[in-house]
A = this chain, B = another copy of it.
Amino acid sequence: MRHTKTLERLKESGYRLTPQRVMVLAALAARPGHIGVDEIYRQVYEGYPYIDVATVYRTLQLLKNLHMVTELDVGGTTRYELIEADRHHHMVCRGCGNAFDFSPTYLVEFRQRLTQEFGFQPDLEHFAIGGLCSRCAESL
């Protein structure tokens, strides 16, 4: 169970461990990578047809605030991913829609300059950048 620790953390944070939340987390854990709300909803629905989309959205919102999932905009559709130990950022290709990872070290210089020169503290935890991957760039 990849999400057992996440469940414990939820409880420790003072939130209730409802079946709906467990099932949403199970759905997130079942499929590695970025998964859409509709997929989560469908999977939970299989085991519990009384589930409401609103609950799925509220759960995802909660998990996002607790930094347990990342919200990621992939070509117009919002997708979610369980946060694992190894933090990374995303490059989302506007050609094929795939998401690639890159290390936070790529942004340290950028962050430093904004902080030093403007006193601005950028949110870079869940940072994603659009663009064109090498394969799609070739096939143009």
Contact = CB atoms under 8 A, between A and B. Distances in A.
A100 B120 contact: yes
A50 interface: no
A137 interface: yes
Number of copies of this protein chain within its complex? 2
Interface size class of A (residues with CB under 8 A): 20 to 34
**Chain A at the B interface: SS class:** mixed
B106 A110 contact: yes
Contacts of A110: 106-107, 109-110
Interface stretch (A6-14, A19-27, A123-131): A123-131
Contact of A130 (B123, B132, B133, B134): B123
Top 6 A-B pairs ranked by shortest CB distance?
A119-B134, A122-B131, A123-B130, A121-B132, A123-B131, A122-B129
